[in-house]
Amino acid sequence: MTFWETVTGSDITREWNAFEARAEALPTDHRTAWEEIKDHLSTYSDFTGRNLTPILDAALTLLEETAADGQGIHEVLGDDVKGFCAALAGGERSRDYRDRWREQLNRNVARKLGRLGG
Amino acid sequence: MDDLTEMLKGTLEGCVLEIIGGEETYGYAITRRLNELGFADVVEGTVYTILLRLEKNGLVQVTRRPSGLGPPRKFYALNDAGRERLAAFWAKWEYVTSRIDKLREDGR
């Protein structure tokens, strides 16, 4: 099972299938970018991935609009797909699972230290 | 000029607001305008994320219009909150540029 499937509840599978159907219609370069965008955005996922649906929709809409304009993917996203995804997801301050791991680690360390310190 | 991106980061939202303030327009046209101005590194993706943020913050009025090709295009116009934000941007811009100019003059 992929990470994608793991986080996807069956109720939103339909929505995500619709995304894939839309992505199918994109030119090759845009479709490649779509795969890359999904990859980057997955780090911003909450437990179920539901928070990603509107963000993915926004990204896909941009790809569709720019493909219709005949813009090359480099004109659209430049070199920084990761930065684009971060901005789409609400900026670098938006919480991703790395933040949650970090928090968890900090909590555990604090608890252990508290125990040691008595 | 290369590598303007870092310097532009804080001001790009103001630039986009200014362009939208001139007339109702859409993402691609905004990107082209910035490119024509000499900001060659600005890509549509960057403008798009700014537009989404402006929309989320309630600074623009969005209208969907059918386009010749592809999905309907979103057109953006400033609302009152957007005009206020734009005025605030120019006030801050004046302040920063005047301070930096002063720094340079004093140094000479």
CATH class of B4-107: mainly alpha
Q: Domain range for residue A80?
A: 3-92
* Partners of B76 in the β-ladder: B25, B62
- Read off the pLDDT of residues B23-33 as tens digits, 9 standing for 90 and up: 999 999 999 99
The pLDDT of residue A92 is: 47
Residue A10 lies in a domain: yes
Residue A109 lies in a domain: no
Q: What is the ipTM of this complex?
A: 0.76
Residues of chain B with C-beta less than 8 angstroms from the C-beta of A78: 41, 43, 45-46
Q: With 0.80 as the threshold, say if the pTM is over it.
A: no
Domain boundaries in chain B? Answer: 4-107
Task: Please give the tally of structural domains in chain A.
Answer: 1
**pLDDT tens digits in sequence order for chain A, 118 residues long:** 566 665 556 666 888 889 999 999 999 999 999 999 999 998 888 766 777 888 899 999 999 999 988 899 999 999 889 989 988 887 544 566 667 777 778 888 888 888 776 5
Task: Tell me if A78 and B43 make a contact (CB, 8 A cut-off).
Answer: yes
The CATH number of whichever domain residue A25 belongs to comes to 1.10.1900.10
Closest residue of chain A to B43, computed from CA coordinates = A76
The residue with greater pLDDT, B95 or A49, is: B95
Q: What are the φ/ψ torsions at residue A101 (nearest 5 degrees)?
A: -60, -40
Check CB contact of A64 with chain B, cutoff 8 Å: yes
Instruction: Give the closest-approach CA distance of B105 to chain A in angstroms.
Output: 36
Residue A65 lies in a domain: yes
Residue B44 sits at the vertex; the CA angle it makes with B39 and B47, to the nearest 5 degrees, is 80
